[in-house]
Amino acid sequence: MTSPFGLLAELTYACPLHCPYCSNPLNLADYGEELTTAQWQRVLTEARELGVVQLHMSGGEPLQRRDVVEIARSANELGLYTNLITSAIGLSPRRAEQLRAAGLDHVQISIQAHEATASDNIAGTRSFERKIAAARLVKELGWPLTLNIVLHRMNIDRISDIIALAERLHADRIELANTQYYGWALHNRSALLPSRKQIDRAKAVVRAANKRLEGKTTIIYILPDYYAQYPKPCMDGWGRRQLTVTPNGDVLPCPAAHTLPLPRASVREKSLGWIWAESPVFQRFRGTDWMPEPCRSCPRREIDFGGCRCQAFLLTGDAARTDPVCILSPDHEIVADAVRAANEETRPLAEALTPRPHPRDTR
């Protein structure tokens, strides 16, 4: 068994945005009792002892935690590389200076589109101008800047404009990640899933941009699973490299695993080391012994590990089945049907979206 190198700390699910593709839990009320500052500090200490070297502070919106600077400072003192994953709402000059002094290493800002009207409509609140101001502030303070744009049917046709915006902001890294269909994104899939023509046009734009910006800006482009022949190796395998701690202290092998009907493991009750090595939730899909056919005899079983357990459960009701994205899956028709619907010529130009609700700010 390997040691994890990355910890995703979901500090809170409170968030000022209402994105229709949010992958946070639908049952936000279950996460109202958040870990205290001292509990997070203990988690970070145990993570470092376990071998973790990278801390990604996320949410919701991590800046909604009043103690985010203190948490970042504690991580820095432990020698962890720290990354703030943020909507940038709340990244004031004063807060940014405090985080810089606390040793924060990197900032990743989400932007929903290339201009204010489209971005604010997707985010469900006026936020674009504050995001742009925050991105400029990040560069002024000398941080590396990653811009993250979740792609879907509503913005993928403007991918060239999105890349141009990132260039103007001098982003060091651009993550163009097509929507993964969990949480509210699955609920809104019929409106969000792009057509194949849209995907192909976007790939051509990204190829050209990668060539033009080589050595200057790193561009990461992630295809939607639904258009792949084989699934991605979710988290490089269940419980192999990374772990997630949710706001209430649950520990998961991946951020979406809260959807699965598995025994819970919490840092309120057990050490992070025990949870990683021995808890049923981390043991359940670790390795390949759990696999059914066709995964068990597939030469790709050590490459994609049967795909995403959460996606398998959400689409089939059984987390142990082959990810339906795979063309070898007996359930592949579920994904094929969704793709056919997304490519119907009679598909409406605009479809109703259900926005993520606004949870109560608990801190």
Instruction: At 109, list the tokens.
Output: 């800002």
Distance CA 11, CA 24 (A): 12
Please give the full DSSP string across 11-37, using - where no structure is assigned.
-----S---TT--S-S-GGGG-SPPPH
Bond prior to 294 in cis (omega within 30° of 0)? yes
Output the CA torsion sign for 185, 188, 190, 193.
Answer: negative
Is 308 known as a binding-site position? no
22 is in an annotated binding site: yes
Kindly tell me the burial class for residue 258, based on how many C-beta atoms sit within 10 Å of its own C-beta (0-12, 13-18, 19 or more): buried
Beta-carbon count within 10 A of 32 CB: 14
* Identity of residue 241: R
- Asked if 246 and 344 touch (Cβ cutoff 8 Å), the reply is no
- What is 142-184 written as a DSSP string? T--EEEEEEE-TTTGGGHHHHHHHHHHTT-SEEEEEEPP-SHH
**15 labeled part of a ligand binding site:** yes
The annotation places the binding site at 15, 19, 22
The annotation places the binding site for [4Fe-4S] cluster at 15, 19, 22
